[in-house]
């Protein structure tokens, strides 16, 4: 029963947008855009929600057995939001909650699907790539819309693809995961090639626009007082870490 480490955030509590962009340029060189997807047994999907009213972030992670995609566990974590939403700097806002949620899973995922861009980012360090580098684990970015780059509209049929290009470089694939629905943007997060990433996303799709990992993580993050979103029998670990400047207090359950 091993779980992912709770890595400390490698950036200051106080950070200006300009400083954050400088850090991205410094870290983007660590991203590995190649890698196979063999021998995967555990896959996780992650997402973050921002409950109305409060200024808190709720990270959600769902662990699946692969390739049958049976959800085996979920994890929720809430903590204060410390960074605003700034296009291009999403990871500084969402990573704390994502890391906290991932640390609550019972197994270390062989692959993590993130709701957001991987290298399909102005400085090639979207939230999926940033997460992968921090954990040194394979990740894939699956976004619902484009941040930067241009592309030709893929065919309306399921499975149709079209390259996403930015500054003369292919940074991702616009993939139609279902007929007549808006395509998703797939890009390398870390330690995986684009072709392999697209194949993996397709193998995780089950008739919905979003692949199961991201789809259920999104559902888990957004459904608070509601029916168990993963099905009866699937354990969900909940933890609310009320901390100010890193000093964690006593964890209290969500719900």
CB of 39 to DNA, least distance (A): 28
115 is in an annotated binding site: yes
Binding pattern to DNA, positions 90-109, x when CB under 7 A? xx------------------
In the DSSP assignment, the letter for residue 252 is B
Binding of DNA by 253 (CB under 7 A): no
Minimum Å gap between C-beta 151 and DNA is 12
CA gap 198, 174 in Å, rounded? 9
Contacting residue, 10, 29, 39, 87, with DNA by CB under 7 A: 87
In the complex, the smallest distance separating the C-beta of residue 136 from DNA, rounded to whole angstroms, is 19
Q: What is the DSSP track for 141-209?
A: EEESS-SS-B-PPPPSSTT-EEEEEETTEEEEEEE--STTS--EEEEEEESS-HHHHHHHHHHT--SSS
Among 116, 138, 211, 213, binds DNA (CB under 7 A): 116
Quote the least distance from Cβ 208 to DNA, whole Å.
12
Contact 121, 85 (CB under 8 A): no
Phi, psi of 186 (to 5 degrees): -105, 135
Q: Residue 80 interacts with DNA (CB under 7 A)?
A: no
Q: Which of 2, 16, 55, 145 binds DNA (CB under 7 A)?
A: 145
Question: CB–CB of 205/212 below 8 Å?
Answer: yes
78 binds DNA (CB under 7 A): no
Of 73 and 125, nearer to DNA (C-beta) is 125
Phi-psi region of 167 (alpha: psi -120 to 50; beta: other; left: phi over 0): left
Query: What is the rounded distance in angstroms from the CA atom of residue 229 to the CA atom of residue 234?
Result: 9
Annotate each residue in 172-191 with x if it binds DNA (CB under 7 A) or - if it does not, as one string.
Answer: -------xx-----------
Per CB under 7 A, which region of 1-9, 25-33, 116-124, 246-254 contacts DNA? 116-124
51 binds DNA per the rule CB under 7 A: yes
187 in Cβ contact with 164 (< 8 Å): yes
| Residue carrying structure tokens 């930067």 | 148
185 and 146 in contact (C-beta within 8 Å)? yes
The minimum distance between CB 209 and DNA, in angstroms, equals 11
Residue 167 assigned ligand-binding role: no
Nearest to 96 by CA among 189, 10, 24: 10
Interaction site with DNA (CB under 7 A) = 47-52, 85, 87-91, 115-117, 121, 126-128, 141, 143-148, 179-180, 218, 222
Q: Which residues are annotated as a binding site for Mg(2+)?
A: 47, 115
């Amino acid at each position: 029963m091993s779980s992912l480490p709770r890595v400390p955030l490698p950036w200051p509590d106080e950070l200006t947008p300009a400083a954050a962009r400088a850090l991205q340029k410094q870290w983007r060189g660590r991203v590995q855009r190649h890698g196979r997807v063999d021998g995967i047994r555990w896959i996780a999907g992650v997402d973050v929600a921002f409950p109305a009213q409060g200024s808190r972030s709720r990270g959600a992670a769902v662990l699946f057995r692969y390739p049958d995609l049976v959800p085996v566990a979920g994890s929720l974590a809430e903590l204060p939001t410390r960074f605003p939403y700034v296009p291009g700097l999403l990871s500084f806002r969402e990573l704390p909650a994502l890391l906290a949620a991932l640390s609550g899973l019972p197994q270390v995922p062989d692959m993590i699907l993130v709701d957001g861009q991987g290298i399909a980012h102005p400085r090639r360090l979207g939230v999926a790539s940033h997460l992968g580098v921090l954990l040194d684990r394979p990740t894939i970015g699956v976004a619902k819309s484009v941040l930067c780059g241009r592309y030709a509209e893929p065919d309306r049929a399921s499975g149709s693809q079209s390259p996403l290009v930015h500054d003369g470089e292919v940074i991702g694939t616009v993939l139609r995961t279902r007929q007549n629905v808006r395509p998703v943007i797939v890009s390398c997060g870390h330690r995986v090639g684009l072709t392999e990433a697209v194949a993996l996303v397709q193998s995780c799709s089950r008739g919905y626009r979003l692949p199961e990992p991201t789809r259920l993580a999104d559902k888990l993050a957004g459904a608070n007082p509601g029916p168990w979103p993963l099905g009866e029998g699937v354990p969900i670990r909940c933890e609310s870490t009320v901390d100010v400047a890193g000093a964690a207090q006593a964890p209290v359950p969500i719900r």
